[in-house]
A and B are shown apart, each in its own frame.
Chain A
Amino acid sequence: MLELAYITSALGGALCGVLGFYVVRLGLTTLTFTIAHAALAGAALALVLGTDMTYTAMVLAITTSLVLGLIFSRVEYLRDTICMTFFSFFSALALLSIYLSNTLVLATATLSTVLWGSVLAVTIDKAVLLTSIALILTVYLLAFKTQISSLIFDKRLAEAEGLNVLMHTVIIMLITATSISIMLRVVGGFLVFTLIYIPTMASTVLTARANKQLLTAALIGALAGPTGLTISLVMDLPVGVSITLTAVAMASATMIVKGISLKHEVKKVKLTQ
């Protein structure tokens, strides 16, 4: 079980790191934040309905990404505000579901999985699903390498040149929604987007080259997951919090390293002058 949790957190961390790179470059940050909260609402709703947490989260997250994708294809105005309205709704739905769920649930591991994740929550079928998604994403990125490069360089220009921007955006959002829904069990509903944003931020600080940013984000995600898991086990802390704090520490370390190397470069330039 523990091995499975390690594999899932490493694979999920890498997958979220890669997705984070595309989400940020495509300007889908707020949208992803909303989808993560849709997944949280879905997981909380599962407590009331008695359904599978991951699949209920997935249904709500995928539906939200499709609905928002459709709205965004028609509305260019107030997109962030629309996302934040959905986010507020999903947060309310999550809290209402927790309130309406059996009072015994509040004291059980089920609720803690929703809120801050659990090592025990990872099962073989979810790990297989996550691996399948990682494979699908890899094949998709290899198949449309040139098109996706054009898309992340300039979305509007790519659209003007006849690239199907909506289709590619929806594909990335669907993969993100599915990945978030599975990783929610490990990291918890309130912190699930951690692995999407923090590795990308750290990789952007470390390198300017897009392909290196992609690999670095995947690597940081893959390291933050298992490291956070170990800290959680050793210090008996919630796993989601441990992974998030590890990712933040790694991002802070990259900023410090980058700052020091920049200082050295400035000194070198001054000496040569």
Chain B
Amino acid sequence: MGTFRGVLEVNNVWVRYSGSGKPAIRGVTFAVKTHGLVLITGPNGAGKTTLLETCLGLLKPFKGYVRLLGVDTRSWTFTRIRRLCSYVPQDFMKPPHESFTVRQVIAMGLAPSKYPFEPISSNELWMVEEASKLLGIEDLLDKPIGKLSGGQQQRVFIARALVRRPKFLFLDEPFSSIDRESRGWLAKLLRWYVDSAKALALVVSHDVSPLNGLADAIIELRDGVLSRVRCFRECLSSPI
């Protein structure tokens, strides 16, 4: 994998949901210079998920801008940048009638890079199996995702995120359904991925403990504004 050369730039970002008067985040500014693991934390309703989805371009700021690798998230060309990103949403749970197998769901992560008529190759299927082994779900590969528990489903989505070998990982509460004993192991896995792939991981979590000593920076939000930034390694530049 190539060296991570880009930055994430969040400049005076204000985001409001349609139909809501009050902005969910206000004047948030920070920049990430290099690869690393950045934890976004704060109490419920602080705007953590909003900030994460804004960085990924799923939500558009009405004031300010977000640039990933120098490309504005509002630009039409941002879809291409998203192909370098992986996302694990907070509300990942699929209903019991969802019949796609775990293998299919993980392989779907490779879909955006496919040309028309190009099938999933045998090498990619091997990558799917390797990603499942990393998350300890190799025995579930042929089971329908809807039949799995919340914790198992969350592992599937993290495996899907990793199989894409992304340069940017956006994880929203990735420990929420994982049992307490496995959280530390998952945090170390994320750290390992960030270092080996020279990637940037933005992790939203109200629980800081799994990433204690592993995060390079912690961004704290409170009531939609950036309340504190702690840097343990040079990956964040000071607020613009």
Contact = CB atoms under 8 A, between A and B. Distances in A.
A160 B56 contact: yes
B22 interface: no
Interface residues of A, number: 26
Contact count band on B: 35 or more
A105 interface: no
Contacts of A163: 79, 111-112
B174 to A, nearest CB: 14
B116 A160 contact: no
A71 B152 CA distance: 37
Interface string A153-173: 110111111111000000000
A161 B169 CA distance: 10
Interface stretch (B96-104, B126-134, B193-201): B96-104
Interface stretch (A29-37, A59-67, A74-82, A84-92): A74-82
A228 B87 CA distance: 47
A210 B19 contact: no
B105 A161 contact: no
A264 B1 CA distance: 55
B122 interface: no
Contacts of A159: 58, 82
A160 B18 contact: no
A254 interface: no
A161 B83 contact: yes
B86 interface: yes
A162 B114 contact: no
A77 B110 CA distance: 30
Contacts of B111: 146-147, 149-150, 158, 161, 163
Interface in A38-58: none
Interface of B: 17-19, 56, 58, 79-87, 89, 94, 97-100, 104-105, 107-114, 116-120, 144, 146, 164, 170
| Pairs of residues from A and B, 7 with the lowest C-beta to C-beta distance, nearest first | A77-B18, A162-B82, A162-B83, A143-B116, A160-B87, A150-B108, A162-B112
24 contacts: A76-B18, A78-B18, A142-B117, A143-B116, A146-B108, A146-B110, A146-B111, A146-B119, A147-B111, A147-B114, A150-B112, A153-B108, A156-B58, A157-B89, A160-B56, A160-B58, A160-B85, A160-B87, A161-B86, A162-B80, A162-B81, A162-B112, A208-B97, A208-B146
